[in-house]
């Protein structure tokens, strides 16, 4: 997964590094009692817990698993720290200021603990796995610090019997929600100059296919209709001669709607790209981080491919999936980036005509090679390059989205109607985000005509509900 997944400037809601209060996830519905901000109760709960998540989808998924432990231990989930007996901060180490932001939360928790309002709090995730966590623990009196590979240790912290050490992916995802993430691999074997993932999540470890298929089967049989396969570089997944394309094909036969993220251009096979076009249950969108259009910068970043390979992959995708959407990650201002490198990136953006991009201004992270490299362009230059790339992406995205006006689309409702704005947010099979006027609940389909389009989202006319599901074939036994 690229470390730039966190700043998104087109096609979906901007996430930046704002903490995501998981209890606001639409799959949980509205708070049961907005007055006291309770969100979800464990069995006969008389104690309360709050989980706050920062960062990427891997973290959201890890938090879902920790939530299950907390609910199993009899806690009710609450939104606010001051209402919680215990608090878990599941953190991200993508940018230096992410640590600063977490420091602010730790300071507040430390104060609430001194005042006797919070009993104990834990720091988990990428910052927990980093070298800085000991200092933070000392400074703020954190009760438990966990990395990304030992979240099972949270069990004892919340009062459950200690669990045997188990590889994180063996812990099942959340069942019974309309959409679910399924981790298929963890870690990463690349060493991109700017990325902390290999040092905090370790080397790649792939989960066995049958184990993944069983989990997906279980999720679908309990009501999940949208499965996202998750990993740092999902297309690097392999097991005894089987490759990611084989796994994707199996999952596309198990679940009614399937997507995957994040991929690496060096691993992406043409047959995977063709499969996206062929399988009716696969959402026709591809997120393929390129990071730079300059071969010189790609080498400095240790990305392992040249821009020509990337362009060729995009050609295959566009041909195999003509109605599909394409997104990417781009880093602006990496040490050593010249004006010529920047122009190469603009040229690639023009050639690939992305539908959206996460554009990221380089910021050094301790422990990475790039943090030690000289030649970071001045901030005003980085800002100008950032705006130029952003404008180029948005211009392309806007033109692409305009072509959808007038088409009738089957839309999967991801987030139910917001009473203030009157719109639900859905996704077409082509992967476009759509605002649509409907009361249909999350996890269902509606059909609607696209009335207008901006650079980030389509706007549909009032919708009609339909059954929508593309039934996968019977599971082979
Ligand atoms: S090191 Fe791995 S996780 Fe980090 S950006 Fe590179 S490919 Fe992605």
pLDDT at 156 exceeding the cut of 90: no
What is the reported pLDDT for 95?
60
The band of 377, judged by pLDDT with boundaries at 50, 70 and 90, is very high
* Residue identifier of the C-alpha nearest atom 3 of ligand 1: 1
Between helices 270-278 and 307-320, what is the axis angle to 10°? 20
Mean pLDDT (whole number) for 345-363: 93
Determine which of 11-25, 167-181, 429-443 has the lowest per-residue pLDDT on average.
11-25
What DSSP letter does each residue of 166-208 carry, written as one string? Answer: --GGGS----SSSEEEEE-EES-S---TT--HHHHH-S-EEPP
Query: Which CATH code of 2.60.40.10, 3.40.50.300, 3.80.30.20, 3.90.1150.10 fits the domain covering 172-402?
Result: 3.80.30.20
Residue-wise pLDDT for 388-418, tens only, equals: 999 999 999 999 999 999 999 999 998 887 6
Instruction: Among 55, 56, 197, 201, say which to mutate for ligand 1: greatest number of ligand atoms within 8 Å of CB.
Output: 197
Question: To 5 degrees, how large is the angle CA 253–CA 257–CA 259?
Answer: 95
pLDDT at 175 exceeding the cut of 80: no
Contact 186, 229 (CB under 8 A): no
Atom number of ligand 1 nearest to Cα 198 = 1
Residue range 20-166 in CATH 3.40.50.300? no
Atom number of ligand 1 nearest to Cα 191 = 1
CA of 193 to the centre of ligand 1 (A): 9
Domain ranges of the chain: 20-166, 172-402, 408-466
* 90 vs 11: CA distance, rounded Å: 26
What is the reported pLDDT for 2?
43
CA of 190 to the centre of ligand 1 (A): 6
Mean pLDDT (whole number) for 379-395: 94
Domains 20-166 and 172-402 share a fold: no
The band of 147, judged by pLDDT with boundaries at 50, 70 and 90, is confident
Residue-wise pLDDT for 445-464, tens only, equals: 999 999 999 888 899 988 77
pLDDT at 346 exceeding the cut of 50: yes
* 243 vs 209: CA distance, rounded Å: 10
Instruction: Among 264, 292, 303, 331, say which to mutate for ligand 1: greatest number of ligand atoms within 8 Å of CB.
Output: 264
Mean pLDDT (whole number) for 47-66: 81
Mean pLDDT (whole number) for 332-360: 96
Candidate ranges 4-18, 40-54, 144-158, 248-262; pick with highest mean pLDDT: 248-262
Mean pLDDT (whole number) for 2-10: 33
CA of 369 to the centre of ligand 1 (A): 13
CA of 92 to the centre of ligand 1 (A): 14
Of 237, 213, 5, 273, nearest to 126 by C-alpha is 5
Q: Residue 149 carries which DSSP code?
A: S
Residue-wise pLDDT for 74-119, tens only, equals: 888 888 999 999 999 998 776 656 778 889 999 999 999 999 999 9
pLDDT at 10 exceeding the cut of 80: no
Q: How far is CA 144 from CA 92, 147, 419, in A?
A: 17, 10, 39
Name the residue with higher pLDDT: 320 or 222. 320
Can you tell me whether residue 89 is helix, strand or coil?
strand
Determine which of 98-112, 148-162, 327-341, 449-463 has the lowest per-residue pLDDT on average.
148-162
Instruction: Among 55, 92, 188, 328, say which to mutate for ligand 1: greatest number of ligand atoms within 8 Å of CB.
Output: 188
Mean pLDDT (whole number) for 51-55: 86
Atom number of ligand 1 nearest to Cα 189 = 2
Atom number of ligand 1 nearest to Cα 195 = 4
CA of 235 to the centre of ligand 1 (A): 12
Q: Residue 38 carries which DSSP code?
A: E
CA of 97 to the centre of ligand 1 (A): 19
Mean pLDDT (whole number) for 160-179: 52
CA of 393 to the centre of ligand 1 (A): 22
Instruction: Among 3, 191, 289, 371, say which to mutate for ligand 1: greatest number of ligand atoms within 8 Å of CB.
Output: 3
What is the reported pLDDT for 421?
60
CA of 347 to the centre of ligand 1 (A): 23
Instruction: Give me the CATH code for the 408-466 domain, please.
Output: 2.40.50.140
**Please, what is the average pLDDT of the chain?**
83
Contact 125, 90 (CB under 8 A): yes
CA of 66 to the centre of ligand 1 (A): 25
Contact 321, 429 (CB under 8 A): no
* 410 vs 448: CA distance, rounded Å: 7
What is the reported pLDDT for 417?
78
Taking CB atoms and a 6 Å cutoff, what residues make up the pocket around ligand 1?
1-3, 188, 190-192, 195, 197-198, 232-233, 264
Residue-wise pLDDT for 267-289, tens only, equals: 999 999 999 999 999 999 999 99
* Residue identifier of the C-alpha nearest atom 6 of ligand 1: 192
């Amino acid at each position: 997964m690229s470390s730039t997944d966190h700043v998104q400037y087109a096609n979906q809601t901007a996430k930046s590094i704002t903490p995501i209060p998981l209890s606001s996830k639409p799959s949980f519905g509205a708070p049961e009692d907005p007055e006291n901000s309770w969100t979800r109760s464990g069995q006969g709960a008389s104690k309360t817990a709050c989980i706050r998540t920062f960062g990427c989808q891997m973290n959201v998924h890890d938090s879902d698993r920790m939530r299950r432990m907390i609910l199993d231990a009899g806690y009710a989930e609450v939104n606010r720290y001051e209402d919680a007996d215990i608090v878990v901060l599941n953190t991200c180490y993508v940018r230096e200021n992410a640590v600063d932001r977490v420091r602010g939360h730790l300071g507040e928790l430390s104060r609430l603990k001194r005042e006797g309002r919070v009993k104990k709090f834990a720091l988990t995730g990428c910052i927990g796995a980093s070298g800085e966590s000991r200092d933070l623990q000392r400074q703020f009196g954190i009760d438990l610090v966990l990395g990304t590979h030992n979240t099972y240790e949270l069990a004892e912290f919340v009062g459950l019997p200690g669990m045997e050490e188990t590889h994180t992916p063996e812990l099942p995802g959340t069942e019974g929600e309309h959409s679910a993430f399924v981790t298929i691999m963890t870690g990463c074997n690349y060493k991109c100059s700017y990325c902390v993932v290999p040092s905090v999540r370790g080397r790649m470890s792939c989960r066995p296919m049958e184990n993944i298929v069983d989990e997906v089967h279980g999720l679908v049989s309990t009501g999940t209709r949208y499965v996202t396969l998750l990993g740092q570089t999902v297309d690097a997944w392999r097991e005894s001669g089987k490759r990611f394309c084989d796994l994707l094909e199996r999952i596309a036969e198990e679940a009614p709607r399937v997507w995957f993220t994040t991929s690496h251009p060096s691993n992406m096979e043409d047959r995977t790209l063709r499969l996206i076009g062929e399988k009716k249950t696969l959402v026709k969108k591809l997120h393929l981080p390129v990071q730079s259009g300059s071969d010189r910068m790609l080498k400095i970043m240790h990305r392992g491919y040249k821009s020509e390979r990337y362009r060729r992959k995009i050609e295959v995708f566009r041909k195999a999936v003509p109605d599909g959407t394409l997104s990417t990650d781009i880093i602006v201002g990496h040490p050593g980036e010249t004006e010529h490198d920047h122009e190469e990136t603009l040229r690639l953006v023009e050639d690939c005509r992305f539908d959206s991009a996460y554009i990221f201004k380089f910021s050094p992270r301790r422990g990475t090679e790039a943090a030690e490299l000289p030649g970071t362009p001045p901030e005003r230059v980085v800002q100008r390059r950032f705006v130029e790339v952003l404008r180029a992406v948005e211009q392309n995205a806007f033109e692409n989205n305009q072509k959808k006006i007038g088409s009738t689309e089957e839309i999967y409702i991801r987030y139910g109607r917001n009473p203030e704005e009157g719109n639900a947010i859905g996704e077409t099979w082509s992967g476009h985000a759509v605002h649509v006027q409907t009361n249909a609940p999350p996890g269902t389909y509606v059909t609607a005509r696209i009335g207008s389009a901006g650079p980030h989202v389509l706007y549909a006319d009032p919708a009609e509900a339909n059954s929508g599901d593309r039934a996968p074939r019977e599971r082979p036994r």
